[in-house]
Structure 1
């Protein structure tokens, strides 16, 4: 029984192990069999999507790190599958939790920053002052750039979490009204939920793409000259 509006996002379980988080690895059952099962339309779709993403990410990365695009492609598919699984009934939406999204964003951002400041210190210092900045404004620009860099993992994780949670909450609110609705209102609620489900499907794809692209851009800034 749902005690409040946010109960569907509660990761607790009746067992000693939080079984809800198993949903984060369900994509393995779908993707990996494609390597040994007879070629199918689904396999061809994933291969085409992977090739398209590789070409796009490769343009954003420097020549030294072309192979890094596969890291961001894997990240894209991981988030995409978790977002999609959250649209099915009784499957826990792990991507709507900050503990999940921040776990993805923070190590990526931290590795980029450590690599940049340890290996390319002068290049990172130059990034703190944009070209054409007047002398009196330079200290303020350094402070602004430092703050904007430090909040990147927070904005990256909160963006994904908020977008996934907002749609689920709206569908839950509408679903709670069906018990007291008349036949005409019930038809309207069902049609509205179908539209919301379609919108949430688009949001699931867009947010996974945005997360992967922004991570790629943060990586490319370290190597850009």
Structure 2
């Protein structure tokens, strides 16, 4: 059993059982709004953890772009199981992260956040990148719009990861989540609000997402002549 998973839920439990475990009794009315998506890989969990970012995204997100799992005019929520078979952690869903190794700072992205909120042509560094030597690093350009940009029928996505459940709302949804549903969802077991993206009243989620994308572009774009200035 995965030590990060709830003890009373087997690691290979069927997806609806896992999903229902996370929905509190007060959220039972939410379940019929959820479209199930439980990507699986065969083999042992340690082997699955060796899968690349692209494989995880392809299994978890890309396969849902062309499937019509949603009903028009409803609050549609996509449930993505990124725990079983993948072992994705909540930190892997951040738009980017930095680590220190000695005196050096490296940044990188796992790509999951981009697969929901990124736009075509935005920058993405899936490898550990030293900001001092951007010209020597590989910066990728996203090839497709993020899932929540392409599918306005999706009101939100819920991501089950090894250390919690995240809610990614769609600011471009044709039917936004109601405040009642949002309040119910925040009561889900192991909910991680600090790593979720919520379209709460008074906050413009589009502006927040655009700001994150602009920050990534700034981080991964070198300034001509700056490298020489650093050396001097």
Q: TM-score range by the shorter chain?
A: under 0.3
Larger radius of gyration: 1
Q: Which has the higher contact order (CA 8 A, sep 6+)?
A: 1
Q: What TM-score, normalized to structure 1? A: 0.27
Give the structure with the higher percent helix: 1
* Greater strand share, structure number: 2
